Structure 1
């Protein structure tokens, strides 16, 4: 693996487009990223399992496992040890907003620029570079690398891997950009469309139709009350924004000023706290608009725009949190964004989010990693692997 130094692997991963999008015109396979990772892992002695997703054709997960010699009799059933996990897809990008080539790892102003530089292809370059400097023959506990697909849209890769029957790591670190600060809990994510189907007609005869915009006005009033109710009723002191948030993000309806609007649709974003289940929040949302649905039967629909992502909560006193705090020198925190953690956690492992780069650069034009962070990040990853597996 002499040619596969840190920057070479970093550049290779960034150079391969692997965008996830709900728009088929933008959506891309991640297979070439997975193939490169598998090749590098195999060179280090990992046994690799590449799986196409059941619900997302041309999207793939990689499970790379390195097992101590004494545990290799039952190599398909991996228990214990450490799993290092991340996703291989990126968000779409606006070419007009980028000043640099998003598919080239550009060194400039002591920064590494590129799409996926910190969200989160770069994490795999860090892992593999660190592993090249370790004597893997002395491994005492299993070491697993998980690379998933479609995190940026459906999280289908993580949802599929959590059903794996022969995967039972003791610990998992998901390398999303946290500036190497351990994250032990985060909010969930729900996106809903509220669709009003009225009856169109000529504006000069208002009673001949049913104006969807007017009904949506009533719905929005209810949602603003719900927004305040969530703020008043629920609180978690670990979060900077300690309550569930509700955002009215996008609305469209109607086609002409002199026409009664026959259809209006509003897209909202809900971020549940740990302890509030997705089903509970869905029921709260439906209850908020129930009076309107009774007043206007068969007019109001509440639709999931994607499968809801539950909140994630780990234990602050877990051995992994304590180890990460000790090695990083940072106290574990809560964050408002969401990750694959609630699905990975279903494998039964202690789970945290902790990776290179700042979340402030994620999903931004000219995404970058500050180069002064490289050596400290490599050292933290190295120490965690040594403590967990050697």
Structure 2
């Protein structure tokens, strides 16, 4: 029987394959190298491998690998991309594994290339001949930006598995709930003119002032309407992130643009939220006689909540010794949960290290997670 490289060697290889996902083309990279490497290791273990092209121009790919057959089974899911990094702020090369202070340092070490190495280490201990239900490995593209990989999988049809583990860094604690996120833009077009006479134009910045007042009022309304005490910030949040408008002090502002995000708690409907904002914008457009465009910066991610009687969450709590928690960051979990797959987010490493210089995975998180994955496989596949 062929054996895979050990966890450290696998992680070193994955870190050496840059796969940055960015909305800025100058930083964006293909993830094909990472996908091909994971596929090769999966084939060594006897998996049937399917590589799906998501975006040929940008070189974005998903992997679905299957070991065993039959109904049910367990999905081990993760994303292959990383965020950009400020190399000058790292104490070591982010694309090389650095092993020091009982930590593995590198971009993607915990968020979340490391999960694939841990999952494969657990699977390597399984006798595939004993499988009663399949093991699936999902490796996706662009989680850090558009989640286009997860969206594509949802469209093509996810495996009809019984359960799914998403191995985001959670310090080995099960996460059964997280907020969703919308990122939206508003562009107001008025009429430029000489600032000496306001009647010569229609100030888009003045209209945006009214729009911001409406959004702040809407924020307070949401805070009163929705609350979930499982979250450290129990209400939905609406953040006014950036604004650009005008071109000179002595010209009436002809155009102004605002970007904001809205983080929803479970139970909130994204399309209803957008419609409520649109209704407010329509009133402002009529009142100010400006053209107001409301658009999506990306399609958004729904909030996630496991089922109240989730077998998987109960098992994760039992194995880890931690009660399930809610977090503010978003994952690909809603896409799996929407396919009626019992889903939990749980992995080695801490989210506090993700997206930071000198990202790392602590050594003492590794063996426990490998053990947990093995127990999940035993429960759902053996």
TM-score calculated relative to the size of structure 2: 0.95
Matched ranges for 1:207-286 at <5 A: 207-286=199-278
Given the superposition, is the C-alpha separation of residues 343 and 55 from structure 1 closer, same or farther in structure 2, using an over 3 Å criterion? farther
Matched ranges for 1:305-316 at <5 A: 305-316=297-308
Structure 1 residue 100, shift from structure 2 partner: 2.0
Structure 1 residue 294, shift from structure 2 partner: 1.3
Name the structure 2 match of 1:5. Answer: 6
Structure 1 residue 99, shift from structure 2 partner: 2.6
Matched ranges for 1:139-218 at <5 A: 139-165=131-157, 167-218=159-210
Given the superposition, is the C-alpha separation of residues 250 and 172 from structure 1 closer, same or farther in structure 2, using an over 3 Å criterion? same
Matched ranges for 1:1-390 at <5 A: 1-2=2-3, 4-53=5-54, 57-67=58-68, 71=69, 79-165=71-157, 167-390=159-382
Structure 1 residue 142, shift from structure 2 partner: 0.7
Q: Which deviates more from structure 2 when the two are superposed, residues 183-192 or residues 131-140?
A: 131-140
Say if 1:169 and 1:347, in contact at 8 Å, map to a contact too: no
Find the aligned partners of 2:94 and 2:124 in 1 and give their Cα distance. Answer: 27
Give the number of equivalent residue pairs: 381
Say if 2:111 and 2:354, in contact at 8 Å, map to a contact too: yes
Find the aligned partners of 2:245 and 2:157 in 1 and give their Cα distance. Answer: 47
Say if 2:242 and 2:259, in contact at 8 Å, map to a contact too: yes
Could you list the structure 1 runs, at least 4 aligned residues long, displaced by more than 4 angstroms after superposition.
54-57
Say if 2:3 and 2:44, in contact at 8 Å, map to a contact too: no
Structure 1 segments unaligned to the other structure (5+ residues): 72-77
Alpha-carbon displacement from aligned partner over 1:222-272 (angstroms, at most 9, x marks no partner): 111111111111111222211111001111112222222211111100011
Find the aligned partners of 2:90 and 2:96 in 1 and give their Cα distance. Answer: 12
Structure 1 residue 169, shift from structure 2 partner: 0.5
Say if 1:184 and 1:316, in contact at 8 Å, map to a contact too: no
Say if 1:190 and 1:269, in contact at 8 Å, map to a contact too: yes
Find the aligned partners of 2:213 and 2:87 in 1 and give their Cα distance. Answer: 38
Structure 1 residue 138, shift from structure 2 partner: 1.7
Structure 1 residue 136, shift from structure 2 partner: 2.5
Find the aligned partners of 2:197 and 2:272 in 1 and give their Cα distance. Answer: 42
Give the alignment's Cα RMSD to 1 decimal: 1.7
Given the superposition, is the C-alpha separation of residues 201 and 275 from structure 1 closer, same or farther in structure 2, using an over 3 Å criterion? same
Say if 1:161 and 1:344, in contact at 8 Å, map to a contact too: no
Structure 2 segments unaligned to the other structure (5+ residues): none
